[in-house]
Amino acid sequence: MTFKQAIEEIKKGNKVKHKSWDSLMVTEFSNNIVCLEDERSYYYPYDLEDFKRTFMKFKNGWVLVTDEEYKDFTSAEEEKDYFALVTGLFKAVNETRNIFKEEGLFIYPIVFLRSDIFQRINYSDKNKWSDYLINLEWTPEKLRSLIQARIDVLTGTRSKNFQDAWNKIVINQEVKMGNKQNSKMSSIDYILRSTHNRPRDIIKYLKEASKITTRNRYIKIGPVQIKKADDSFSEYMKQEIIDEIYSVLPEYNEIFSILSIIRKQTFNPREFVEVYQEKVRNQNLRNRGAEAVLNILFEFSIIGNVPSMNTRSIFKYENESARFNFNENIQIHRGLYKALQIF
């Protein structure tokens, strides 16, 4: 489609990209800001008019990006071909690096790949790649630094620290929590607990809170708007997980329904097994084993473990080496509560 048509699709909230872009696409449009995202989940905001001036040279060749493009495989053969291509890519990168080295050129090709995809690669020499791996880990501290930088860009200011930047867009009040609203937490910690510590999650949450704030004609995001953003963000979080888990767990809808039937934030694994086996008996679900399913849910940080001697839950996204423990209670990730109707 043409650039003019692409602009109309962007205004509708659809994802678009130019066919010459390998990893860049327009993922968001809010408050007249066009947001580009790359494969590292880095965001590049443009005022709509700036976006038009910058990219109007691409008059044709724009395409819509559908969610189906991220549902990886529809068959075992397609999955096998995909991982053969990924393995071939790593081999090609290594060979290219050696060729450059022989010519005295210090050029290092880099591959960006989701960690869950890398773990599923089955290749005899895969362990040899470990010396060349760098895990991109977004700690709360790194996320705060990123948010500070983003706020400074959007406001055209230079903040002293994260809190200084945060106070420019968010009211400096704690968010009340719990059934009786007796517990309190800082607004940034409340948002972080709802995410998988990924930049795009934080930005999405803030955008949803910003929409509510603007709609009510407030100047800054407050605790009320942050809590109201839970609903829409939870649906976003669920869809993000579906895009990632689809090829591994095609029956994700049935599995999510089990979590909704249990309808508890924390529960014993045996409760899941009981409902799972009942669905299998009623032929509503193919039997791959309840424990195998729980392991998959843990790997994608849909659930975490609650150690008996520790009040803090263990989630895979916070600890890459964590493994699911069937003897410990399960906790649903907070970001999925509303989408799974868990209160």
DSSP reduced 3-state for 267? strand
Q: Are strands 183-185 and 175-177 parallel, antiparallel or unpaired?
A: antiparallel
Q: Examine the pLDDT at 72 and tell me if it is beyond 60.
A: no
Q: Find the mean pLDDT for residues 68-77.
A: 52
For 152-177, the pLDDT digits (tens) are 998 899 999 999 999 999 999 999 88
State how far the Cα of 321 lies from the Cα of 318, in Å rounded to an integer. 9
The pLDDT value recorded for residue 114 is 79
pLDDT tens string 78-108: 777 878 888 888 889 888 988 988 889 888 8
Residue 33 has pLDDT above 50, yes or no: yes
Q: Which amino acid is at 331?
A: Q
CA distance 5 to 237: 29
Predicted confidence (pLDDT) per residue in 224-250, tens digit: 999 999 999 999 999 999 888 887 888
> Span 140-228: which CATH code?
1.10.8
CA atoms within 13 A on the CB side of 12: 10
Banded pLDDT at 40 (limits 50, 70, 90): low
DSSP classification of residue 25: E
Q: In what order do the strands lie in the sheet with 25-30?
A: 43-47, 33-37, 25-30, 16-18, 62-64
- Provide mean pLDDT across the span 36-63: 81
185 forms beta bridges with 175
Q: What is the pLDDT of residue 71?
A: 44
Q: Give the pLDDT of residue 333.
A: 97
Q: Residue 34 — pLDDT band, cuts 50, 70, 90?
A: confident
Are the C-beta atoms of 330 and 291 separated by less than 8 Å? no
Give residue 119's pLDDT.
77
* pLDDT above 90 for 275: yes
CA gap 15, 164 in Å, rounded:
33
Overall average pLDDT of the 320-343 stretch: 92
State the chain's mean pLDDT as an integer.
Answer: 87
3-state secondary structure of 56: coil
Among 45, 73, 67, CA closest to 243: 67
Q: What is the pTM of this model?
A: 0.70
Give the model's pLDDT for residue 66. Answer: 61
